[in-house]
C-alpha cells in the first residue's frame, strides 16, 4: 500500500508547465530517487511535497491524509537541503536539537533523541563542535541528523551530496543508505547524478521536461531504458538504427541509412576482437583511460561507436588499430524516440 502518493500533481508558472500531471506512489520504508537534468521538475516536485511551493492542481497524500495545502510545519517532514543550512553559531548538538526545541519537546526527551541520532550518524564525538570545525561530509551528517531527530514520516533529500568531492560523495551516498535502512524511513531524494541514484535507490523515477518518463528498479532502468533520452542519460549508450530480421528480432543495420527501429547498445556489452572477426569492422580513433576501464571510440561503416573495456593490466589498443566488434543480439534494446510520452 502506498504511504506517499502524488495524484496528477501539476505546477504551472504563468504559461510554463514546470511539473505536468505527475502520478507517483511510494511504499512505506522505500527509498526513491527523482532523477533528471536541470530544469526537469524534480526539485519543484520535492518542494511541493515539502509545502514550500504551492500546488497548481492535483493532490499529495501522506498515509491516506491529504496534505496538498497543509503548511510545511504541519506536515512534519524531514528535509535536507543542498546547502546544509546549519546555524554557524550553534554546536552540532544545538543544531540537531533546534527543531525539537521549536516543537516544545521536553528537555529530557530532546537529550535522549539527540544522543541517539548523533550515534546513528556517527557524530557523537563531535557534539560540541561547530560547523566551521567539520568537514563537508560531517556537516552533511549534521543536516541529516537534524532532519531525522524530529522522527518524520518521510525524509526529503534535495541534491544532498552535490557539494562534496567525488570520493566523499560516494562514501556519503552509502552512508545515507545505511542510515535510511537502519531507521526504516520512507525517503525521496532529488539528484542529477545517475550513478548516485542507481547505487542506493529501491526505485528510480526519471523526469524530463516536467514529466515522468520511466519508473523502475535501478537494474531494470539501466538494462531496459524506454527512450533515447533515458538510454543516454542513465549511463552511456550507442544509439543505432536497426530493423527486424526474419524472426522478428531486432538487428543493427550494417550500412548508413534509416531503419525502422532505434536501438540502444551499452558500450560495455560490445566485444573488441581481432580485425576480420565479429559482425562489424572498425578503426580505433581515440582512447581514454578511466582507471578501472579503457574507453575506445571506434569508427565504423555505420558511424562512431563507443566501447568500454575493463582494464585488465594488459597493454591497451593503440589509436589507428583495426578491430572487429561483436555483441549478443539479445542485449540490443529498442527505445522510444518520443522522449516524454512514456
Whether 237 contacts 305, CB under 8 Å: no
pLDDT at 338: 62
CATH class of domain segment(s) 1-77+152-223: alpha beta
Architecture of domain 235-334: Beta Barrel (2.40)
What local confidence, expressed as pLDDT, does residue 248 receive? 60
Instruction: Record the pTM.
Output: 0.89
Q: How much is the pLDDT for 341? A: 43
Length, in residues, of the chain: 342
Q: For CATH 2.40.50.140, list the domain ranges present in the chain.
A: 235-334
- CA atoms of 299 and 319, how far apart (whole Å): 11
Give the pLDDT of residue 245. 72
Ranges of the chain whose pLDDT falls below 70: 246-249, 254-259, 338-342
Residues 6+ apart with CB under 8 A from 273: 323, 324, 325, 326
What is d(CA 259, CA 170) in angstroms, rounded to the nearest whole number?
Answer: 40
The CATH 3.40.50.300 domain(s) of the chain lie at 1-77+152-223
pLDDT score for 229:
93
- Provide the pLDDT for residue 83: 82
As a whole number of angstroms, the longest Cα–Cα distance in the chain is 77
pLDDT given for residue 162 in this prediction:
84
* Strand locations in the chain (E): 2-13, 16-27, 31-35, 57-62, 65-66, 78-80, 154-158, 186-191, 203-208, 211-216, 238-244, 250-252, 261-265, 271-274, 280-289, 293-300, 303-310, 322-326, 333-334
pLDDT at 260: 78
Residue-level pLDDT at 322? 97
pLDDT value for 287: 96
pLDDT at 257: 55
Amino acid at each position: 500500500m502506498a504511504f506517499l502518493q502524488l495524484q496528477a500533481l501539476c505546477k504551472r508558472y504563468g504559461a510554463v508547465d514546470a511539473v505536468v500531471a505527475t502520478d507517483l506512489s511510494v511504499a512505506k520504508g522505500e527509498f526513491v530517487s527523482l532523477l533528471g537534468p536541470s530544469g526537469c521538475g524534480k526539485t519543484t516536485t520535492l518542494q511541493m511535497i515539502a509545502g514550500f511551493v504551492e500546488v497548481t492542481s492535483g493532490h499529495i497524500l501522506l498515509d491516506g491524509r491529504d496534505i496538498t495545502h497543509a503548511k510545511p510545519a504541519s506536515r512534519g517532514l524531514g528535509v535536507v537541503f543542498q546547502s546544509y543550512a546549519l546555524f554557524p553559531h550553534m554546536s552540532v548538538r544545538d543544531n540537531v536539537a533546534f527543531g525539537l526545541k521549536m516543537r516544545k519537546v521536553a528537555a529530557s526527551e530532546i537529550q535522549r533523541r539527540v544522543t541517539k541520532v548523533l550515534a546513528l550518524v556517527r557524530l557523537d564525538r563531535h557534539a560540541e563542535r561547530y560547523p566551521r570545525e567539520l568537514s563537508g561530509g560531517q556537516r552533511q551528517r549534521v543536516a541529516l541528523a537534524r532532519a531525522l531527530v524530529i522522527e518524520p514520516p518521510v525524509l526529503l533529500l534535495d541534491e544532498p551530496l552535490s557539494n562534496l568531492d567525488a570520493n566523499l560523495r560516494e562514501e556519503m551516498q552509502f552512508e545515507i543508505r545505511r542510515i535510511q535502512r537502519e531507521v526504516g524511513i520512507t525517503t525521496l531524494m532529488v539528484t542529477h547524478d545517475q550513478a548516485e541514484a542507481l547505487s542506493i535507490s529501491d526505485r528510480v523515477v526519471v523526469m524530463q521536461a516536467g514529466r515522468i518518463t520511466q519508473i523502475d528498479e535501478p537494474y531494470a532502468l539501466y538494462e531496459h531504458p524506454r527512450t533515447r533520452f533515458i538510454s543516454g542519460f542513465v549511463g552511456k549508450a550507442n544509439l543505432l538504427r536497426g530493423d527486424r530480421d526474419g524472426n522478428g528480432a531486432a538487428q543493427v543495420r550494417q550500412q548508413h541509412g534509416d531503419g525502422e527501429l532505434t536501438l540502444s547498445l551499452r558500450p560495455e556489452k560490445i566485444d573488441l576482437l581481432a580485425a576480420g572477426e565479429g559482425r562489424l569492422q572498425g578503426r580505433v580513433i581515440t582512447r581514454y583511460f578511466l582507471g578501472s576501464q579503457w574507453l575506445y571510440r571506434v569508427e565504423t561503416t555505420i558511424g562512431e561507436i563507443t566501447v568500454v573495456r575493463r582494464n585488465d593490466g594488459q597493454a591497451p589498443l593503440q589509436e589507428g588499430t583495426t578491430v572487429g566488434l561483436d555483441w549478443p543480439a539479445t542485449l540490443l534494446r529498442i527505445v522510444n524516440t518520443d522522449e516524454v510520452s512514456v
